[in-house]
Amino acid sequence: MENLTFDLAQTSLRELNQFLHNDAKKGEVDKVTVLNPDGAHNIAVGLDCPVTVEVHGHAGYYAGGMNKTARVVIHGSAGTGVGENMMSGVVHVKGFASNGAGASAHGGLLVIDGDAGLRCGISLKGGDIVVGGSVGSFSAFMAQAGRMVICGDAGDALGDSLYEAVLYVRGNIKSMGADTQIEPMSDADYAAVADLLRQAGIEHNPKEFKRVASKRELYYWNADANQEY
């Protein structure tokens, strides 16, 4: 199998993405190295073949978005929406991630070694997210399915309007969102956290995490609640 290198200081981002969307599907290349990304937006978006893309530097908005089966590794930080709406595969940010990381992800695994900004995992629909650091306010807002492991702290309104997604938090939670609660960890929860940490390459004791899930009081509108949940 062949390895290719694209230097974005000399080659256009369009040329890189066209290769990933077309020629990479032929199965003749198993790894693509991207040099000098210089914060470019939409790197490796919409991939649907099992290729590995290694980005050496910082990526802009929506890197690895809509990913399917590919493995995208960013050796730097990523802008807004990294790994958004991903279906399968892995997106791994070695640095920090900005707002909306993993938004609406249906499947796959997003790993962020550092901190994540506001609304990490917003409207999560089935993917898994592991954050080695802390997450900002309104993370997992309206998360419908999937799991998030937060190894650091969580900001305000964690899991606001949470549905069936489950959050595991190791650090402090500044405040809980509407209709969320801390629940006892079960053996299945400890096993799930251990497995996700293993996949992310992060070492922590699963016993240090707490489970955050929905109270299920927002499933049906209650006019008598006076907007108090």
pLDDT of residue 217: 84
**Do both 136 and 208 map to the same domain?**
yes
Where in the sequence is the domain holding 116, given as residue range(s)? 99-217
**Do both 138 and 88 map to the same domain?**
no
Q: Is 195 helix (H, G, I), strand (E, B) or coil?
A: helix
Asked whether residue 72 is domain-assigned, the answer is yes
Q: Over the stretch 115-141, which tens digit does the pLDDT of each residue have?
A: 999 999 999 999 999 999 999 999 999
156 DSSP assignment: T
**Do both 92 and 136 map to the same domain?**
no
What pairs with residue 167 in β-bridges?
A: 148, 212
Q: What's the rounded mean pLDDT across residues 31-37?
A: 98
The answer, yes or no, to whether residue 227 has pLDDT greater than 80, is: no
**Do both 90 and 107 map to the same domain?**
no
How far is it, in rounded angstroms, from Cα 15 to Cα 13?
Answer: 5
Q: Over the stretch 11-33, which tens digit does the pLDDT of each residue have?
A: 999 999 999 999 999 888 999 99
**Do both 146 and 164 map to the same domain?**
yes
Identify whether the C-beta of residue 117 lies closer than 8 Å to the C-beta of residue 99. Answer: yes
Q: Which position has the token pair 């893309």?
A: 53
**Do both 42 and 116 map to the same domain?**
no
The dihedral formed by the CA atoms of 59, 193, 154 and 80, expressed in degrees to the nearest 10: 20
Q: Which position has the token pair 């917003």?
A: 122
pLDDT of residue 218: 79
pLDDT of residue 219: 73
The dihedral formed by the CA atoms of 20, 22, 26 and 31, expressed in degrees to the nearest 10: -10
The set of long-range contacts for 205-208, using a CB threshold of 8 Å and a minimum separation of 24, is 208/170
What's the whole-number average pLDDT of the chain? 95
The answer, yes or no, to whether residue 212 has pLDDT greater than 60, is: yes
Q: How confident is the model at residue 225 (pLDDT cuts 50, 70, 90)?
A: low
pLDDT of residue 221: 66
Count: domains in the chain: 2
Contacts of 103 (CB under 8 A, 6+ apart): 81, 84, 85, 119, 121, 122, 123, 124
Identify whether the C-beta of residue 101 lies closer than 8 Å to the C-beta of residue 74. Answer: no
Identify whether the C-beta of residue 139 lies closer than 8 Å to the C-beta of residue 160. Answer: no
Does the pTM exceed 0.75? Answer: yes
The answer, yes or no, to whether residue 229 has pLDDT greater than 60, is: no
**Do both 32 and 44 map to the same domain?**
yes
